Structures are given as structure tokens and as C-alpha cells.
Amino acid sequence: MGGATSPAAPCLSVCLLPLLFLFLHGCWSCVAIERERTLAMIKPDGLSGNYTERIKEVILESGFDIVKETAVQLDAERASLFYAEHSGRSFFDSLVKYMTSGPVLVMILERPDAILHWRVLIGPTDARKAKTSHPNSHKSYASFHFSIRAMCGVDSEKNCVHGSDSPQSAAREISFFFGDVRSDTVEHDEL
């Protein structure tokens, strides 16, 4: 298998280790699972395609808490700043144009290993690849073969959602949209 891991592998460490600890020690108060935050964004095609409620349903049923959310209309300057790491790439201008074509919904998601779980849930960057690797995503998300991008994305640019790819990116992206967010903050703006 060449060292390949299944999508279930991250869940094994997050889900089974606390149960093993409980079995050995006999109390839930001894089990401390650190929660992590990540930034999730529903892009213009996700909002205009009426996928927002379906995506939020998938998020909640996948064990995430939506800590804070807000709808934003990015201008070219803000979109360029957010995607600055891609500024030298051939697709940058097209990406900025697309990201300013309509509002986006940005959310802070929280759960154990939030970054990893959100990245697995959204699937490959290229929605065409996601549709091949996760063909039943339009039917059900109750399997390891589900991808939000396969459900509602079009290609590698119009892929419906964004997710932070590291703890450093998550901190930067959350700060970009929400500033300094306390750990007990829960707010939801209306679209």
C-alpha cells in the first residue's frame, strides 16, 4: 500500500484513544481532548448555489461547533491580501476576480483536530478530482467517501469552500476576518 492512510486514520487517534483511556482509568474527567479552531469559508459559488444550509448541516453533524460566522463581500484588495501566498501564480488574478464576484460566508469551526477533519471533509482542491474520488457525495455524507467539494464544486478555482491548511494558517485567517477572538465567543451574523 506504500504507506497510504485511510480517511479513517485521523479519527482513530481522536475517537479511540480517549475510549482506551476511559477503559484503563475509569473516568471521563481524566480524558482531556484539546479542541482546535480552523477557518472555513463558503465561497461565492457555494452561496449562490444555495449550498449554505447543507454545508452547515454537514459541519454540525461532523462534530464541529460553529463558534462565529459572518458574511463578507471581499473587494480586490482584501481578496489579494487573503490569497497573498498565491500572488506569483498564474491563477491569482482569476482567483481574486472570482472571490470578489459575490459574498462569502466565513466561519470559525472548533473540535478536536479541526484543521485535519475539515480538510478531509472538504476533499481535494480540484472539485473534478473530488467528484471522481468521492462519487456519491451528492447522495450522502454519512461515509468516508464524502467531499463537500464533490457535492457542490466545479473545478480547482470554483471549489465551493476553503479550509485552513495548518495551525499557522488558521490563526492568520481567523485573525484576518475576525480579529482577536476569545475562546468563549459565539456569534452568528445573518446573511
Catalytic sites, residue numbers: 162
The binding site for ATP comprises 43, 91, 119, 125, 149, 159
Residues comprising the chain, all counted = 191
Provide the terminal-to-terminal Cα distance of the chain, rounded to the nearest Å: 46
Check: CB of residue 105 under 8 Å from CB of residue 178. no
Sequence ranges of the binding site:
43, 91, 119, 125, 149, 159
Q: Which three cell numbers stand for residue 49?
A: 448555489
Residue 119, C-beta contacts closer than 8 angstroms, at least 6 positions apart: 163, 165
Give dist(CA 68, CA 109) in Å, integer. 8
